[in-house]
């Protein structure tokens, strides 16, 4: 089912039934009903239906030149770091303490070195976890030269005891929150320890959020909805219809109770979605063929 | 049917049998009633008046003036490539369309228009028309052809057009006899020269039948079914019953 098909089906319940003639405000109601239903469906959907493997590269350390306006400031004169280096650990000139890059021209801690300029060594130990990732759901795995190096263990409370100055092959990881309540993007860093001493590929499985349908996609440029066609009419459509009930453009209020019941049935059906598409593997109890 | 023919029909309830002997004030009165009937019909079923127009908007052009005689805008509004434009209802939505509907935090860059807003204002230097301006957002980055369906004000006829060569009134399906004439005669009845008091009930019946037909003459696929005809007859019968019931 496409975005336009669903929008048209929803529009049939409004006072103006022709999607082309509907005002922009009423189309926004339709758009919000579609996105709300998609979010509801994928919040209830088993993880297998929203998990994917993500690959990032941990680069070898690099050295960049920097200059500061004056001592003890955390503002660098020129943008010297890249967007991808945000969150990474950096050692600047004669400041012995590890710092963290927070922007192309800013670091987290005040610079305590004496020299007003020099070289900074950037260790790529942070991977950006953007808001599309809901959850990292399996331990990240390192690859080097095409070979699997190791699975990373999650560090819990012993980070302070770790040697944070010596690079090497990463062994552990942790997810560092960045303050998404203030609109931070990325929302989290996946930080590894020790800091990588060379290039590594990092793979991890993550549950990802559903895509947002946009206004042009229900008007001029339809796309396929991110829902399998086998539940488009039985689950997505009833839930979207129920979400549209709040619109002031809904034509027949006497249908509200039926629409709500249909949505409840759709939610019940959603609970029957298979947890996995592979055969179940029960590792508890007597092994098969014992 | 020409204006002269309609005029000749309209003066009959005034007991004037020849157009040539109708005094000027009667000519003015009946022409006014004809124009009133046409204006009334233009607000009825839209297919009597619906008309497609198309125009071009240049790259970067924010707006275009619609024809001066535009009465209604029906839509849909389409770009030449078949993309529909969304109707925007308020000036506020139009000004912040990109921020509200397209997810921008600032004004959208020019590109393919998504919405249109029709601004209505008094036309400067004219006391009888409204200036309609179609505005587009985002601003077109290249020239586009735009198609829109509108209705125009009905033509306004003058006393001089009673004389030959008299213009033909444009009516779909030539509904002049069944709809226009009954409405004209009904309008004429308020003249002080009206002499058809004994015909008043049948005139009202014809008038109500015309109204029913005006609302039911839909050229929709399948409309000419037995059911549709029965509905039409039932409406006419109901109108006739009401007219007789209200006859003094």
pLDDT in tens, A192-222: 999 999 999 999 999 999 999 999 999 999 9
Instruction: Provide the 3-class DSSP secondary structure of residue A93.
Output: coil
Q: Is there a contact between B100 and A214 if contact means CB atoms under 8 Å apart?
A: no
Kindly list the residues from chain A whose CB atom is less than 8 angstroms away from the CB atom of residue B83.
219-220
pLDDT at A73 over 80: no
Searching chain B, which residue's CA lies closest to the CA of residue A27?
B86
The predicted-structure confidence for A151-191, as pLDDT tens digits, reads as follows: 888 887 676 777 878 899 999 999 999 988 888 889 999 99
- Structure tokens, A86: 């945000």
| pLDDT tens per residue across span B81-112 | 999 999 999 999 999 999 999 989 988 899 99
Check residue A12 and give its pLDDT. 94
ipTM of the complex: 0.75
Nearest to B75 among A21, A24, A27 (CB): A21
pLDDT for residue A281: 67
Q: For chain A, positions 193-252, list CB contacts with chain B under 8 A.
A: 214-216, 219-220
Q: What is the pLDDT of residue A93?
A: 86
* Residue A49: pLDDT over 70: yes
pLDDT of residue B169: 85
**% chain A with pLDDT above 90:** 60
**Mean pLDDT over the full length of chain B:** 83
Greater model confidence, A243 or A162: A243
Report the pLDDT averaged over residues A260-282: 86
- A208 φ/ψ angles, rounded to the nearest 5 degrees: -115, 150
Contact A24 B87 (CB under 8 A): yes
3-state secondary structure chain B: CEHHHHHHHHCHHHCCCCHHHCCHHHHHHHHHHHHHHHHHHHCCCHHHCEEEEEEEECCCCCEEECCCCEEEECCCEEECCCCEEEECCCHHHHHCHHHHHCCCCCCCCCECCCEEEEEEEECCCCCCCEEEEEEEECCECCCEEEEEEEEECCCCCCHHHHCCCCCECCCHHHCHHHHHHHHHHHHHCCCCCCCCHHHHHHHHHHHHHHHHHHHHCCCCCCCCCHHHHHHHHHHHHHHHHHHHHCCC
Residue B118's φ and ψ, nearest 5 degrees, are -100, 115
- Using 70 as the pLDDT threshold, list the residues of chain B that sit under it: 43-48, 123-129, 172-174, 215-236, 247-248
- Percent of residues, chain B, with pLDDT higher than 90: 34
**pLDDT for res A125:** 94
The pLDDT of residue A218 is 95
Chain A residues touching residue B76 (CB < 8 angstroms): 18, 20-21
Closest by Cβ to B87, choosing from A23, A215, A220: A23
Q: What is the mean predicted confidence (pLDDT) over A118-138?
A: 92
pLDDT at A283 over 70: no
pLDDT at B236: 67
The residue to which tokens 């009845």 are assigned? B189
* pLDDT attached to residue B224: 44
Does residue A7 register a pLDDT over 90? yes
Chain B residues whose beta carbon lies within 8 Å of the beta carbon of residue A220: 83-84, 112, 114
CA of A69: how far to CAs of A83, A86, A96, A101, A143, in Å? 21, 21, 19, 17, 40
Judge whether residue A4 has pLDDT over 90: yes
């Amino acid at each position: 089912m496409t975005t336009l098909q669903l929008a048209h089906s929803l529009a049939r319940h409004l006072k103006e039934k022709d999607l082309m003639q509907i005002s922009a405000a009423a189309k926004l109601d339709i758009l919000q009903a579609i996105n709300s239903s998609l979010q509801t469906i994928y919040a209830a959907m088993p993880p297998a239906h929203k998990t994917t493997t993500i690959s990032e590269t941990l680069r070898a350390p690099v050295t960049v030149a920097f200059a500061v306006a004056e001592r003890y400031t955390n503002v660098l004169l020129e943008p010297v770091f890249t967007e991808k280096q945000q969150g990474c650990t950096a050692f600047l000139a004669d400041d012995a303490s590890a710092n963290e890059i927070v922007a192309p021209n800013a670091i987290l801690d005040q610079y305590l070195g004496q020299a007003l300029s020099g070289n900074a060594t950037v260790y790529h130990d942070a991977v950006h976890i953007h808001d599309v990732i809901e959850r990292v759901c399996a331990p990240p795995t390192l690859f080097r030269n095409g070979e699997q190096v190791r699975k990373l263990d999650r560090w819990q409370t012993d980070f302070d005891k770790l040697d944070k100055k010596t690079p090497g092959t990463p062994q552990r990881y942790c997810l560092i929150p960045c303050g998404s309540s203030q609109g931070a993007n990325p929302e989290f860093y996946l930080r590894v320890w020790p800091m990588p001493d060379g290039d590594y590929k990092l793979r991890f499985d993550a549950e990802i959020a559903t895509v947002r349908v946009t206004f042009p996609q229900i008007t001029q440029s339809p796309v396929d909805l991110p829902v399998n066609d086998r539940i488009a009419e039985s689950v997505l459509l009833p839930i979207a219809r129920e979400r549209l009930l709040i619109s002031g453009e809904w034509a027949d209020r006497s249908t509200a109770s039926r629409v709500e019941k249909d949505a409840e049935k759709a939610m019940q059906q959603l609970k029957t979605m298979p947890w996995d598409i592979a055969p179940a593997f029960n590792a508890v109890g007597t092994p098969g063929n014992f | 049917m020409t204006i002269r023919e309609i005029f000749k029909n309209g003066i009959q309830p005034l007991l004037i049998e020849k157009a040539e002997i109708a005094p000027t004030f009667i000519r003015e009165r009946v022409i006014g009633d004809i124009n009133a009937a046409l204006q009334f019909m233009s607000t009825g079923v839209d297919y009597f008046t619906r008309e497609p127009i198309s125009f071009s908007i240049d790259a970067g052009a924010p707006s275009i003036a619609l024809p001066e005689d535009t009465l209604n805008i029906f839509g849909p509004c389409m770009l030449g490539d078949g993309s529909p434009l969304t109707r925007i209802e308020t000036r506020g939505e139009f000004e912040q369309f990109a921020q509200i509907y397209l997810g921008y935090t600032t004004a959208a860059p020019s590109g393919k228009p998504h919405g249109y807003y029709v601004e209505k204002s008094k036309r400067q230097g004219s006391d009888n028309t409204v200036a309609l301006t179609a505005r587009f957002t985002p601003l077109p980055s290249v020239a586009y052809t735009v198609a829109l369906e509108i209705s125009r004000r009905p033509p306004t006829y003058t006393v001089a057009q009673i004389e030959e060569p008299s213009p033909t009134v444009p009516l779909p399906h030539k509904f002049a006899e069944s709809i226009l004439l009954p409405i004209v005669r009904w309008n004429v009845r308020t003249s002080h020269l009206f002499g058809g008091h004994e015909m008043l009930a049948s005139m009202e019946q014809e008038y109500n039948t015309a109204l029913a037909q005006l609302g039911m003459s839909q050229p929709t696929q399948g409309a000419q079914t037995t059911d549709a005809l029965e509905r039409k007859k039932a409406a006419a019968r109901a109108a006739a019953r009401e007219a007789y019931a209200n006859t003094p």
